[in-house]
Amino acid sequence: MRVLVTGGAGYIGSHTVLQLLQEGHEVSIADNFSNSSPESVRRVTSLAERSVVLRNVDLLNQADLNAMFQDIQPEAVIHFAGLKAVGESVAQPLKYYRNNVTGTLNLLESMESVGCRTLVFSSSATVYGESTALPLVESTPRSATNPYGRTKLHIEEMLEELAASDGRWSIANLRYFNPVGAHESGLIGEDPQGIPNNLMPYVAQVAIGRREKVGVFGGDYPTADGTGVRDYIHVIDLAAGHLAALDYLQESKGAHTWNLGTGAGSSVLEVIDAFARVSGQPVAYEIVDRRPGDVAENYANAEKARLDLGWKAERGLEQMVEDMWRWQKMNPTGFDEIPASEMTDEELAEFLGS
Ligand code: NAD
Ligand code: UDP
């Protein structure tokens, strides 16, 4: 299939592009490199020994987007492009509404313009808000606790209304739990800019010596060891969920929603322990105040994805940490800085070929 991947240079996108190429799909990527580097794409093409079309396109630029759709004529779109920092979204909500909601609206209009109506969307377990009814099932009522989460909620609703209005659309809302880990080659992985917001990359940077200690946000939650519990999912399993959803959409119209998680939770201290064990490095930590908006515990019921898609997460915490540590050791400061947002499509093609 000809698949267009928005945000395909990013963390989850790059791992998914690799699997698409390995499965024989023809892949094009649209990214503005606001949070990624074309180096990830170069490494993906070398791992897959296949090429991709890489376009420097901002979803906020409808003219560029339309031109790209006319040129590529994709049969399906996997839509990762979006901003994802919760704290930043609280400080700059309009930036998040514009980029995530308007960006998606533009994308849908471009899709319509070429009759492409198959879409896999990156949603998030954040749409369950502060729900305490565990495990979280897809029918759990949705809510948002911050502007980032609200963009995901709005987009899910927009996609449902679109599918209801026109029976030709096939749409998957994939609700990710906590994606971590990296490809086993150590060549691609998550490369957060500045201080990591998420636990796992923070712990990795402490283990490698870039940061002094992990601040554990709360030690008095009603969990086994008092620290927050989350459903961490290996990015390779998560990527495979996208291919399974794409297959399903070939046979099925309408809007569908699936949780992508393992169904089991790990605490902050379990993550820190696993990292210290696997890396052989001490991981210093200190229990500090709870982070506002955090829930004690959160994990998926992933049965619907197993039944409908035949998909199940295969990798456990140990492997997530091993792969994350390999990536961290091989790329202690992430991908090299490349001023890609200024690069033309010709320059990008040349970069990938080099
Ligand atoms: P990422 O930042 O690594 O990837 C997002 C990509 O989108 C980046 O390459 C960025 O440059 C690009 N992008 C952003 N705005 C764009 C725009 N207007 N036009 C073109 N490109 C744009 O993030 P990720 O972790 O790979 O997440 C991918 C998606 O999954 C996001 O939508 C995110 O909200 C969602 N998600 C992520 C997590 C997580 O913990 N990583 C959890 C749940 C959901
Ligand atoms: N956490 C922590 N210290 C950090 C970052 C996160 O203790 O520096 C905790 C956080 O309170 C939560 C878990 O680690 O219990 C996962 O947080 P993350 O931000 O990675 O994901 P979230 O589930 O909040 O999206």
What tens digit of pLDDT does each residue of 218-259 get?
A: 999 999 999 999 999 999 999 999 999 999 999 999 999 999
Annotated catalytic, 285?
no
Ligand 1: which residue has its CA nearest to atom 22? 81
> Above 80 in pLDDT, residue 313?
yes
Give ligand 1 pocket residues (Cβ under 6 A): 7, 9-13, 30-36, 58-60, 80-84, 99, 103, 122, 124, 176, 179
The strand order across the sheet containing 53-56 reads 53-56, 26-31, 2-6, 76-79, 118-124, 170-176, 254-260
Report the 10 Å Cβ neighbour count for 281. Answer: 14
Above pLDDT 90, what percent of the chain? 93
Show Cβ contacts of residue 264 under 8 Å, excluding neighbours closer than 6 positions: 231, 299
Give residue 130's pLDDT.
Answer: 87
Report CA(156)–ligand 1 centroid distance (Å).
16
For residue 61, the ligand closest to its alpha carbon is 1
Contact (CB, 8 A) for 317 and 229: no
pTM of the complete model: 0.98
Residue 192 token pair: 């957060």
Q: Considering the candidates 128, 148, 202, 299, report the single residue annotated as catalytic.
A: 148
Percent of the chain with pLDDT over 70: 100
Whether 216 shows a pLDDT value over 70: the answer reads yes
Which CATH code, of 2.40.110.20, 3.30.1640.10, 3.10.310.30, 3.40.50.720, is assigned to 2-352? 3.40.50.720
pLDDT in tens, 33-75: 999 999 999 999 999 999 999 999 999 999 999 999 999 999 9
**Ligand 2 — pocket residues by CB below 6 A?**
178, 197-199, 202, 214-217, 228, 230, 268, 291, 294
Measured distance CA(286)–CA(57) in Å, rounded: 42
Per-residue pLDDT reduced to its tens digit, 330-345: 999 899 888 899 999 9
Instruction: Please tell me the number of the ligand nearest to residue 190's CA.
Output: 1
Q: For a substitution probing ligand 1, which of 28, 36, 61, 180 has the most ligand atoms within 8 Å of its CB? A: 36
Tell me how far apart the alpha carbons of residues 248 and 241 are, in angstroms, rounded to a whole number. Answer: 11
Q: Which residue is closest in CA terms to ligand 2's atom 16?
A: 199
Q: Phi/psi at 114 (nearest 5 deg)?
A: -115, 10
Q: Concatenate the DSSP letters of all residues of 4-59 into one string.
A: EEETTTSHHHHHHHHHHHHTT-EEEEEE--SS--HHHHHHHHHHHT---EEEE--T
**Is the Cβ–Cβ distance between 96 and 83 less than 8 Å?**
yes
Residue nearest to atom 4 of ligand 2 (CA): 199
Q: Whose CA is nearest to atom 3 of ligand 1?
A: 10
The three-class DSSP label of residue 100 is: helix
User: Could you tell me where the beta strands, DSSP code E, fall in the chain?
Assistant: 2-6, 26-31, 53-56, 76-79, 118-124, 170-176, 178-180, 214-217, 229-230, 232-234, 254-260, 266-267, 285-288, 297-298
* Domain limits, the chain: 2-352
